[in-house]
Structure formats: structure tokens, C-alpha cells
Structure 1
Amino acid sequence: MSEGNGMGGERVAVIGAGMGGLAAALSLAARGFRVTVLEKADQPGGKMRAVPAGETLVDGGPTVFTMRWILDELLAEAGFATDEHLRLTPLGVLARHAWDGSDGVFDLAADEQASAEAIARFAGAAEARGFRGFAARAAAIHATLDRTFMRAARPNPLTLVGRAGLEGLARLWGVSPFAVLWDELGKHFRDPRLRQLFGRYATYCGANPFTAPATLMLIAHVEQRGVWAVEGGMHTLARTLGLLAERAGATFRFGAEVSEILIEGGRVAGVRLADGERIAAERVVVNADVAALSAGLFGEAARRAVPDQGRVPRSLSALTWTGLARAEGFPLTRHTVFFSRDYRDEFDRIARGHLPNEPTVYVCAQDRGDDGSPPGGPERLLVLVNAPARGDRGQPTREEIERCEQATFALLARCGLKIAWEPGAVRRTGPAEWARLFPATGGALYGRDLAGWRASFQRPGARTRLPGLYLAGGSVHPGPGVPMALMSGRLAASALMADHASTRRCHRAATPGGMSMRSATTEPTA
């Protein structure tokens, strides 16, 4: 991307071109702010990265795209239409599921009626009735929390009740705010396979199904409303957002690592790059894990601007294999999950800091659709298992990773899937590599752990204690995942614009004629 000139107005530096930073940059640039996005990598996307494999690129991060209406709203507010810039195809099969031990194969459909009928064939009429009750409850949770929690500036229990109003109190209580997901699933499903299937939704947020709040059932409703395949891969979504932000006036600088957030007069004054260059800005949006701020990686003043994250429990990490391969013997769809035989033991081991002896395995076959037709040659695959976020503590060890790799592909083989990687076209990434890519996280890919009902309220919001400093990304409210990260960027932009408007009103009252804004500058190091 080339550098653009913006449309005049206050200068904003956005640190990080992940989904939250891209959303904030697009929103602010479209409204006249002079936005400069500083990204240490050579491409946009953050965790939504593209991994080279031979002559092609493979999605090496998020692979499931839901809640497209959030993207539609973001682009429409900036004057763009999604369908004019991206080709999104709705999937009829949300995911295919298989169980070790020949316990069957089950496809969860985007159509609720089709899923209920399939469950009746797979596990019986009683389980189909349980699914209908579960689906209704998931829809009710989503309807209750959409405006009051997910789209709201950082909520707490009191503001949540206030937004719901007297009529909404009963609905809030109905979302089972204090219940645990695994326990609540047992009220809907007796078949352990279905409990395992829907319990896996906790991992979408990097959480343990046995400690996560029951409110995560809303993810099932979100998927029923649509899962889309992005033509060209998920990284195309990131690149497109970057291009549109640039068209709106934002400037992108890649290979630009920020080492310090500068403070003058008790508020943000810009940033300093690792090479010493200083970039002046009246406001800064940080699209990095809040743990990096808390650890002092952006300076002491910025560290004090956020709550200490040193003892915050971490979400899951992952062990992944990404590359080109020939897959035979099992009819993969775009999203396929192979479940372990002992789900509780899997997460108990992760909670103790170890890789599972027998992991549940997710396979994304990027070149396949609903019918599972193979591409007729090597295809792009991402294979993923959950892992503890202890990459900065020397865990898991290489020996443990090797054992887990053997167990992973042995499970796939027992289910009938044989994967032959193309020579030199596969990359393994574990917690240590994620920790290096995203410092201060230990490899946690979703921010703090969502164990217990309080955790959702303990994520920082867009505003910080330091005037002019704002937060975006999956580690802050409303949480992890592509649509939530986009929402966080919109919330950061909204908070910044509200504070900017308030500041201008104050200055107009004190100085008739308004405030004269300086032109954007890049200043030499003092």
C-alpha cells in the first residue's frame, strides 16, 4: 500500500494493523482524521496472517467468518459496500464432525431445521428436541446481550442492567449469567457427542468448556445466522480493509515497530519507533494485546494507563500446521473437527500447562466447500489443536510438541484421514512462536481467559487512564474473534470521536473561532 494524505483534522496513530486497528483506521480516516497505521509486520491482519506455502498463501490464523453484518455496517459507515470489494459465499455445512472410535460423522447445517433433522437421524428424536431448545436459548442470549453488552462501551453488571431496563431484567436472568457452559449443555443434550460438539464453541474465544460461562451458547446462534467463506482466504479480508482505509485517507507504514508512546503535558503526544523516529499525534489507538501495554513494552506512562495484566489468567494458545498437502481417505469439508475420546482430560491437561495426550483436532481445508470436493492436487490446509499459553516459560517442550504431533495425526488416521505434506511446504507454529509474534502474551491468542461470569466484564474498554490513548483488538471489550475485533475498533473510534468533539467544544468556549490544528509532521528524535 502507498501512503495517503488523509482529509485534514486531528492526527491519530494506530499501532497495529490487526482487525481492530484496521476497523478503527477506516472509521477515523473516513471522518477526516489524519490516520497513520504503524505495523511491525510486512502485511496487515495481525493474527489473521497469510503463511507462505510453495507458490501460494495459506490462512494461518482465524478461518471462520461470522456476523458479517458487523463488517457491512463498518464499510457502509465509511461509504463502501461489502459486495463491491469482497466475494463472500455462505456455507451450507457449518462444520463436519467425527469421533475417534467410529462414533459416526455428523454435519451441522446452517439451516436449523436441517440440523434438527440430522440430529434426529444421528442421535434420536429426544436429542433433536434438545437441540431445538438449545437453539432457542442461544438466540435469546444473543438478543439479550447484543446491544446491552457486545455493542456497548465497556459494560459492567450495573450498566448492563441499566441498559436492559426493568423489562429486560428477566431476560438477563434467563441468559444464565452465573452458569457454566458444560453444565448447561447437559440440560439440553444427553448424547456426549453433542455436548462435546457444542461445548467446543468455548474454544472460539480461547476458553475451556468446563469453566466458560454459559452465555457463550450465543455463538451457536451466530453461526446459524451464517458462516461465510472469503474468496482468496481470510487474509484477503484484512488486505481489503487496509486498502479501503487507505482510500479513505489513512497512511500505512509496514516494518514500523513502535517502541514508545510519547506523553507531553499528561496526555498522548505521539509515538517513537524502534529506529528512533518520532511521529507526532494527538491521539493513539493501540491494536496490540493489552498485556503488551501492561508489561511496559510501549513505555512506563503507557504501562500505567491500563490495569496490571501480570496475574491475569491467559486464554488458550494453539499448535498449528499450515501448508500444502494431499489429503485422502476422509471426506473433508471446509471446516472439519475430529474429537478426542476424553474431552475433560484434554482440557485438564491444558489447564495444568501441558499439551493434551489426545487432542481434539480442527482441520480447515481452505480450497473445499460444502460438497467436500478435493481440488485435484495439493490443497491448502490448517491443522490446529489447543495448547496452553506458556510459550514465554519454555512450555511446551520440543519433546512434548513432538508427542502431541504424533497423537494428532494418529487420531486423524484412525478417523480415516491421511495427510501427506508437500516437501518444504508446511510450517509448524506453537506457543513459543505465537509468544514471539505477539509479545507479553505467552502465546495466548484471545487475551484473558473467560473462566467464570466476571471475566467478560474484566476486559479493558476502549478508553484508558491516559488522555488520548485508546485500545482495540481481541484482548479488550467486547472480546476475541474477527467480528468482535472489528467491533472493538468501531468502539475505539467512537470513543475517540466523542472525546475529540468534547475537546473542540471546550476550546470553542474558551477561544472563539475554534482550535487551529497543526499539519501532520514526522519529527526528528529529540
Structure 2
Amino acid sequence: MMNPNRPSERVIIVGAGVGGLAAAIVLAARGLDVELFERAPTPGGKLREAAVGTARIDAGPTVFTMRWVFEELFAAAGTSLDAELALTPAQMLARHAWSQDQRLDLFADLQRSADAIGQFAGAREARGFLRFSADARNIFTTLKDSFITNSRTTPAGLMQRVGLGGLGGLINIKPYSKLWPVLGSYFKDPRLRQLFGRYATYCGSSPFLSPATLMLVAHVEQEGVWLVEGGMHQLAQTMARVASRLGVRLHYSAPVAEILIEHGRAAGIRLDSGATHQADAVVMNADTAALGAGLFGSQAARATPATPPQARSLSALTWSLVAETTDFPLVRHTVFFSRDYPAEFRDLLQRQRLPHEPTVYICAQDRSDHDTGTPPPSGPERLLCLVNAPATGDHHDFTPAEINACAERTFALLARCGLQVRQQPEWTQITSPTQFNQMFPASGGALYGRASHGWMASFSRPGARSKLPGLYLAGGTTHPGPGLPMATLSGRLAAASLLADRPSTSRSRPTATSGGTSTR
């Protein structure tokens, strides 16, 4: 039996997503004995690659933002981001199309984007964009230290930290207003409301139900987007390499069956193979829906509530393919919009079906982020094509007929906007919510945890400390939310909470992790 009062010196981490890897790096850098177990054969979690023939295609997150999060993490490990990973700043954030002759590019340079919007929709809309961007910056600045990087996530705590009278400060970050109508105060052009409303889908949510606080996503992109040499999966490989260099023992193809409980606290794990490994603390970097559903043991299920199906974020239907394209100037990130945005979300959330006409995102991974410089591929190229889907993969089997019908509508929309994609079945890998649920059990295929619907949604995500002593939570389904930098921050918060809870340090609770993440 382990001593329940023993300091947490040996830590087991479950899951090698970026949250688990970040926690491993911070804890190992502080001298703890860290062992990590991952059910997949490679690190990354949702930051995954698809193998299509001999091609490797990023099939998860495709945008690298909030560079400072990773700079601080690597500094805590005694190295630097630049020394470990090759990054190039993007000049263009994305190209957007509504039809063959309606296109708008947004750029890393704010004024250049405003000028493009002015040419596209008029001077009033350009002024609205600058007001929108200023407000998005203010929201992000207000929440960065008070909420995003903070482990205390209650409304009362946020009100106190925001200041300006608490409630007044909260009103300034627009939590009580829906994103869609607020966008109407900046943009009269419905296409621009659609474009900036799409930021809600970055956390798997609807712009018609999400708080206007999500405007901050626009500022995150405007602060900088980077291209990762070798593909996004290199980030996971690099973090795993740094963790290993610090002494973390990484085990792949090692699924965990149970969190072991002794003396009322987490005390280790049991693998599917039957082998047990004891520890003083466990960091769970898996979808919290799986934990709450009892997939890591009935005793551990009380650590966090189960996620109700109606609270799930969106899933996706993706095509990872190698194909020839013609007639449209793709850049690295291109979005093709549906003609009826409200109908698209009614299909997704009310009817819980694939949209009749979906908005389509394409990451052209052999393309530059702008028209000049690297010439377009002369033959087949690597593409990730994604549409939003309902998170019903645990009880609805997305049949080939259903997927084919959606594919026909998807590629017809692309053709209407001028893009012809010559795909071949043998060079195409399709992933539906059914497969996403198999990869991330109990989620229904939801890729972002809980949906950000309503002002309390952000407070409904579990924090770093679970209800079970000795068990800490990390990953995109926990606070502060989905996306690579947020999931990475969650790992740092989990590590900081674990370190703060060690009896040897409880009298002088640290105020920050190495790298500056506040825990106050």
C-alpha cells in the first residue's frame, strides 16, 4: 500500500496528446519521475496524421497560433522553440470563397485585411472590421491572465480577477450576448458575419448559440499564424522528443484500462495487458467524457461528471486525399461557405444530420500561404477537406450512402466556387464521427469536448484538479479549452496544480509554472 501523504514524486500520465506531453515536460523539468502511456502507436492524440498511400497528411489541427505558449514551455525544458521546431510566419491567414467571383483574403497584417475588406464590401465594413478587431483584442487581453492561463475557473473568481466592479468587467467581454447578433453591430454584409461567425466552429460550436466572447479567436489569429516545417504532427514528435530527453519514459500502443484507487486517491494505472504501475499522482490526458463514462474504472468515474450528449461539441467528416485540383487558386487555408448558414446549423444541431449544404475547409498542405513564391503543385497534392458533422458517432452509424451523398454536395459546392477536385477512392481516406468516436471513446466523435453554448459553458469544463485526489486533468476537453495552444496550457496547469498540491510545497504555493502560467 502506498502512503497517501507521500509527496507526489512519481507521476503517470495517460495520453500523449499535447496536453499530456506538456504536463510531462513541466513535471520532468522539475525533477519528478514521469512515465507516460499512450494507446496509439505515435504521440499527438487529435494532432494526428493520415497515411494515404505513401503520403502523410495532417488530419487534425492545421493552424499553429499563440506561439508564446510553446516558447514558454520549451524554455521551462531548458531549450527553445526555435531550436526544436522550424516555423515560418504566414502572410495570409486564409482565403474565403462564396462563389466563383466572390473571394476575400485575410492577412497577418491588420491594415492589409481592412483594405481587402474595403475592396470586397465597402469602406463602412472595413471600419467595422477595425472596431471588431480592437474589441477582440481587448477581450483576449482581459481574459488571458484572468481566465485562459488561470486554474481557478469559477464565475466568482473571474469576476474578482477581471475587476472593474466584477460584473461590469464581465460585461465588457460580452459573455451574455450571442456572437451572431453582436457581429451584426460591426458588419452589415452577411458574408462577413458568416466569415467571422465561423470562429465559433474553432471550438466546435454554433455562432448562433455561442457567446460573443469567442470574438477573441480573431485576435489569436491576428497575433500570428505559423507554418510548421514537415507538417503539424512534427509538433507532437518534437514535444515527445523533448520529454524523452528530460527523462520521461514514453510507452506507445499501451492502452490504459483503469485508474487505480488506494486510500481514496489515484495511485496508478492498470493496462489492458493486465500490468499495473503505481504512482503518487496521475495526469489524465484523455477525453473527459471517457473518464466520466467509467471507461477508466467505476471508481475513477466520480472524478468528473459524464458529458451529456446534448452538451457535446461538433464532430467532423473529413477527406484526407491526394488529388489533382484545377480552376481555383488554393492557398494553405481556404474556406468555401454554404449559401444558408442558419440552415447548416439547424441540420447539425437540431436535426443531427450532415448538412444539406456544408461550409467546407480545405488545408492544401503542399501550397504556400500566399499566391506568390512557391508555385502550385503540377500534379496531385495533399489535401485535408473537412465539413462539420453532428457528434452522434456512438449511436449513429454513418453509412457509405450517407457519406457519399454528403460528398456529392460538398464537392458540388467546391465546383460552384470554381474548384475542381479529381479524387480517386484509392487515394482517399474518409473519417466520420463513427471513426472519431472509436479513436476517442464515449465522445460520440465530438472533437472539442463540450460546446461553447451559453455564458456558463466555459465554466462547465473541468479544471486541472479532479474530484479525486491525486488525479489531474489535461487536454482539449478541460479548461481552458480546445485547440493546440489551449490544450498545451491545460497540461501546464495540470502540472502546476500537481506541484502546488505536493505536501512539501503546500506552505509556499507557487504562483506560476516555469514559463509563467499563472495559477492564482
Class of the TM-score when normalised by the shorter of the 2 chains: over 0.9
SS of 1:121's partner is: helix
Q: Report the Cα distance in structure 2 between the residues aligned to 1:422 and 1:35, rounded to whole angstroms.
A: 45
Q: 1:428 corresponds to which letter in structure 2?
A: I
Alignment of 1:174-185 (within 5 A): 174-185=172-183
Q: Which of 439, 449, 458 matches 1:456?
A: 458
Q: Report the Cα distance in structure 2 between the residues aligned to 1:392 and 1:96, rounded to whole angstroms.
A: 34
Instruction: Answer whether contact 2:108 2:224 (CA < 8 A) is retained.
Output: yes
Q: Report the Cα distance in structure 2 between the residues aligned to 1:154 and 1:400, rounded to whole angstroms.
A: 43
Q: Report the Cα distance in structure 2 between the residues aligned to 1:440 and 1:342, rounded to whole angstroms.
A: 31
Alignment of 1:72-151 (within 5 A): 72-100=71-99, 102=100, 104-151=102-149
Corresponding residue for residue 395 of structure 2: 393
Q: Which of 488, 495, 499 matches 2:490?
A: 488
Corresponding residue for residue 151 of structure 2: 153
Instruction: Answer whether contact 2:39 2:254 (CA < 8 A) is retained.
Output: yes
Deviation at 1:280, TM superposition (A): 1.1
SS of 1:193's partner is: helix
Q: 2:491 corresponds to which letter in structure 1?
A: G
In the alignment, is residue 356 of structure 1 matched against residue 358 of structure 2?
A: no
Q: Report the Cα distance in structure 2 between the residues aligned to 1:112 and 1:327, rounded to whole angstroms.
A: 30
Instruction: Answer whether contact 1:9 1:32 (CA < 8 A) is retained.
Output: no
Corresponding residue for residue 192 of structure 1: 190
Distance 1:161 1:504, change over 3 A: closer
Corresponding residue for residue 271 of structure 1: 269
Instruction: Answer whether contact 2:159 2:169 (CA < 8 A) is retained.
Output: no
Instruction: Answer whether contact 1:203 1:209 (CA < 8 A) is retained.
Output: yes
Deviation at 1:176, TM superposition (A): 1.3
Question: Which deviates more from structure 2 when the two are superposed, residues 48-57 or residues 358-367?
Answer: 48-57
SS of 2:28's partner is: helix
Corresponding residue for residue 329 of structure 1: 327
In the alignment, is residue 306 of structure 1 matched against residue 304 of structure 2?
A: yes
Alignment of 1:206-355 (within 5 A): 206-310=204-308, 313-351=311-349, 352-355=351-354
Corresponding residue for residue 413 of structure 2: 411
Instruction: Answer whether contact 1:360 1:385 (CA < 8 A) is retained.
Output: yes
For normalisation by structure 1, the TM-score amounts to 0.92
Q: Report the Cα distance in structure 2 between the residues aligned to 1:497 and 1:170, rounded to whole angstroms.
A: 34
In the alignment, is residue 54 of structure 1 matched against residue 53 of structure 2?
A: yes
Corresponding residue for residue 4 of structure 1: none
Q: Report the Cα distance in structure 2 between the residues aligned to 1:316 and 1:405, rounded to whole angstroms.
A: 18
Distance 1:207 1:502, change over 3 A: farther
Q: Report the Cα distance in structure 2 between the residues aligned to 1:98 and 1:493, rounded to whole angstroms.
A: 43
Q: 1:82 corresponds to which letter in structure 2?
A: L
Corresponding residue for residue 438 of structure 1: 440
Deviation at 1:505, TM superposition (A): 6.4
For normalisation by structure 2, the TM-score amounts to 0.93
Q: Report the Cα distance in structure 2 between the residues aligned to 1:227 and 1:309, rounded to whole angstroms.
A: 32
Deviation at 1:423, TM superposition (A): 5.7
Instruction: Answer whether contact 2:160 2:166 (CA < 8 A) is retained.
Output: no
Deviations 1:353-400 (A, max 9, x none): 111000000000011112343133321110000000000111544322
Equivalences, count: 498
Where does structure 2 lack aligned partners over 5 or more consecutive residues? 1-6, 509-520
SS of 2:427's partner is: strand
Q: Report the Cα distance in structure 2 between the residues aligned to 1:123 and 1:465, rounded to whole angstroms.
A: 51
Deviation at 1:9, TM superposition (A): 7.7
Deviations 1:26-70 (A, max 9, x none): 111111111111001000000110111222211010001111110
SS of 1:447's partner is: coil
Corresponding residue for residue 469 of structure 2: 467
Alignment of 1:5-24 (within 5 A): 10-24=9-23
Q: Report the Cα distance in structure 2 between the residues aligned to 1:326 and 1:302, rounded to whole angstroms.
A: 49
Corresponding residue for residue 364 of structure 2: 365
How high is the sequence identity, in percent, across the aligned residues? Answer: 58
Structure 1 vs Structure 2 CA RMSD? 1.6
Instruction: Answer whether contact 1:462 1:495 (CA < 8 A) is retained.
Output: yes
Corresponding residue for residue 509 of structure 1: none
Corresponding residue for residue 478 of structure 2: 476
Deviation at 1:310, TM superposition (A): 3.6
Deviation at 1:220, TM superposition (A): 0.4
Instruction: Answer whether contact 1:378 1:422 (CA < 8 A) is retained.
Output: no
Where does structure 1 lack aligned partners over 5 or more consecutive residues? 1-7, 507-526
Instruction: Answer whether contact 1:134 1:188 (CA < 8 A) is retained.
Output: yes
Q: Report the Cα distance in structure 1 between the residues aligned to 2:313 and 2:256, rounded to whole angstroms.
A: 25
Deviation at 1:413, TM superposition (A): 1.1
